[in-house]
Amino acid sequence: MGYDVNSVLDSLIALLRKLSGGNVIIASSYSGLFVALATTLGALPVLASRKRRMEMTLSLSFAAGVMLVASFTSLILPALDMADFFVVGAGILLGVLTILAIDKLVPHEHFLKGYEGPERGRRMLRRIWLIAMAMIIHNLPEGLAVGTTMAYSVPVGVATAVAIGVQDMPEGLAVALPVAELRDRWMGFLIGVP
């Protein structure tokens, strides 16, 4: 029993238009909620985790692979269909520079590299909140992408929200597992939820 991806997307677009009443801000909010629920769904398996290092390594590697493929197939390639290489390249470069600036200015913690950000931030925030800040830094451009594409076109916005939601499922797990390893499963789940 197969299904047509275009008919599924058309059904989602019609549902979103009906729920939002044609209001782009409400439609963007619903799309953002969908992405958040996808991330939450991805974080759920951590509640069954038993803190095994191999399980964490495999899960993080899987999540990295899914996110890498999703960024190319669901975001970059469709952008190239809509604009030329230089416009898409400029957008990617702008995104990289924005994340680099946020990375330097906002205190956060990486599991392997440790603390990054202004030295005064180390004293202000506990480690678990630094990890949460790292995820906020990552999720900011995703939210901007969903909102911007929704304002441009509801069908493009729905497709972007679905693409980001699919890649956020393993991301939720990738965030939750290391926190569960350091602390406990429930803390990992709560940090993995956006």
Please report where in the chains the tokens 């990375």 appear, as a residue. 103
Mean pLDDT of the chain: 77
What's the average model confidence in pLDDT over 131-155?
Answer: 77
Quickly state the pLDDT bin for 171 (edges 50, 70, 90): confident
Span between the terminal Cα atoms of the chain, in Å: 34
| pLDDT recorded at residue 50 | 67
Backbone torsions φ then ψ of 114, nearest 5 degrees: 90, -150
Lowest average pLDDT, out of 11-20, 23-32, 92-101, 168-177, goes to 168-177
* pTM of the predicted protein model: 0.63
| pLDDT recorded at residue 86 | 93
Q: What is the dihedral of CA 144, 147, 153, 156, to 10 degrees?
A: 60
| pLDDT recorded at residue 65 | 78
CA gap 124, 133 in Å, rounded: 13
